Amino acid sequence: MNASPLSAASGHAVPLRVGVAGLGTVGVGVIEILRNQAALIAARAGRPIEVTAVSARDRSRDRGVDLAGLGWEDDAVALARRDDVDVVVELIGGAEGTALDLARAAFSGGKSFVTANKAMIAAHGPELAAAAEESGLALAFEAAVAGGIPILKALREGLAGNAVGRVYGILNGTCNYILTEMRTTGRDFSDVLAQAQALGYAEADPTFDVDGIDTAHKLAILAALAFGGRPDIDAIHVEGIRHVTIDDIRFAEELGFRIKLLGVARMTGQGLEQRVHPCMVPLSAPIAHVEGVFNAVVAEGDAVGGTMFQGRGAGRGPTASAVVADLIDIARGHAGPAFSVPALALGAPAAAPIDAHVGAFYIRLMVLDQPGVLADVARAFATEQVSLESLIQRGRSEVEAVPVVLTTHATSEAALRRALDTIAALPAVIEPPRMIRIENSL
């Protein structure tokens, strides 16, 4: 480490000086926490932590926080060149552009770097970690995954003695809010999405959230820390929640499940399986009861067994809390490799294709209630060696379609898809079969 104030022993009262790039809700939250809890934070960090400079687009805008006495930069990248900044906090967002320029400039300028930017870390994390480690600087991004839940620290440190077998979670509060509202009000996806947009829980363009992309970014980072490989967003099978219906939600409850959008990473004999999709989780599992905008992550270690971490995944306070925790680690001199192992030691585990996934499934068919339909359906599953766990047929009508709901025992996804292709072609099956994977949970 070079002779920056970071190398001072943590007992000394040399302040850690912070430059904040981006003064949206989280940036303001970081400034507020560092001010309001200054004494507590200094006691825990062993030294004061002070914001000395900021950057944002519009200097004149009233953000409800006093910026007097702070340095100002119109160009965020200039924060990386200031003598009065030890650590840059990046809250601009975007995988490339200014955020990435700033990260690179921070390390070449001898500054540590804290960010909430999941897209950038999923895309460029190892490169940035290598730059940090080469210079004895810190890269930290606790806020990038599951907001206020210190899950990256838990994987990197608290469970560091464990080989992780599976890590999964509810990583997007917008989707969890929508699924919770659908279940509790009986309204359909588009209605609830419109309400979430009106309340500010969903963006005008909701694609990033509801199609699972945000969850995939976070899963790529979680998997990297858990399994010691480079984040690989392209290896993730991604499905969103647009196709989840009220019928599926009701059948789930009847069968003892709840539907959650999960990101799941699991080390298998075929390689690292990474997938984002709606899941049925058992009602007996605590994660089934993580509702509304809450996030939760389950990590399964070989020694510790299953552990679950729950909290708010977004918003000013939770995200700023994670940023401040990273700053306190840096102030203490406790910054190790950002991905748990040195960036240059990160592997590239083989990706298991989604067809190789083995698990149980929920299937909903809409069929005309004609003689022989169930026999045809059962034969299609039997031919592919898919074993059924339960079957519900509800209602009788020779003119309208009725739902037939099945759950399977564990089977390969490839076999299941072949069976569904056969079933979809049956004349009495009048809609494409709907499939939701069942995920066991502690």
Out of 12, 35, 243, 334, the only residue in the binding site for its own copies (CB under 8 A) is 334
Q: Which is nearer to its own copies, 323 or 354 (CB)?
A: 323
For residues 212 and 237, is the Cβ–Cβ distance under 8 A?
no
Out of 63, 81, 242, 332, the only residue in the binding site for its own copies (CB under 8 A) is 332
Determine if residue 203 is labeled as part of a ligand binding site. yes
Out of 7, 108, 207, 284, the only residue in the binding site for its own copies (CB under 8 A) is 284
Please state the closest distance from residue 421 (CB atom) to its own copies, in A: 38
Q: Confirm or reject binding of residue 325 to its own copies (CB under 8 A).
A: yes
Out of 8, 65, 154, 246, the only residue in the binding site for its own copies (CB under 8 A) is 154
| 394, amino acid identity | R
Helices marked H in 344-402 — which ranges? 373-383
Closest CA to 330 of 29, 16, 41: 16
Question: How many Cβ atoms are within 10 Å of 49's Cβ, its own excluded?
Answer: 24
Stretch that binds its own copies, among 12-20, 57-65, 67-75, 328-336 (CB under 8 A): 328-336
Q: Which is nearer to its own copies, 180 or 411 (CB)?
A: 180
Q: Which residues contact 136 (CB under 8 A, 6 or more apart)?
A: 1, 2
Helices marked H in 10-88 — which ranges? 25-36, 38-45
What's the rounded Cα separation, in Å, for the pair 424 and 433?
6
Please classify residue 24 by burial: count the beta carbons closer than 10 Å to its beta carbon, then call 0-12 exposed, 13-18 middle and 19+ buried: middle
Question: How many Cβ atoms are within 10 Å of 138's Cβ, its own excluded?
Answer: 27
Determine if residue 153 is labeled as part of a ligand binding site. no
Looking at residue 228, what DSSP letter applies?
Answer: S
Letters for 33-62 (x = contact with its own copies by CB under 8 A, - = none) are: xx--x--xx-xxxx----------------
For residues 76 and 102, is the Cβ–Cβ distance under 8 A?
yes
Out of 76, 182, 241, 324, the only residue in the binding site for its own copies (CB under 8 A) is 324
Rounded to the nearest 10°, the torsion over CA 114, 120, 124, 129 is: 10
Note if 260 is an active site residue: no
Q: Which is nearer to its own copies, 43 or 194 (CB)?
A: 43
Q: Confirm or reject binding of residue 290 to its own copies (CB under 8 A).
A: yes
Q: Confirm or reject binding of residue 328 to its own copies (CB under 8 A).
A: yes
Out of 101, 127, 203, 291, the only residue in the binding site for its own copies (CB under 8 A) is 291
Q: What share of the chain is helix, strand, coil (3-state, %, to 5)?
A: 40, 25, 35
For residues 236 and 274, is the Cβ–Cβ distance under 8 A?
yes
Specify binding-site residues.
118, 203
Catalytic residues: 218
Specify binding-site residues for NADPH.
118
Please report, as ranges, the residues that interact with its own copies according to CB under 8 A: 10, 29, 33-34, 37, 40-41, 43-46, 142, 147-150, 153-154, 156-163, 228, 284-291, 294, 296, 301-312, 317-318, 320-322, 324-325, 327-329, 332-334, 336-337, 340-342, 345, 442
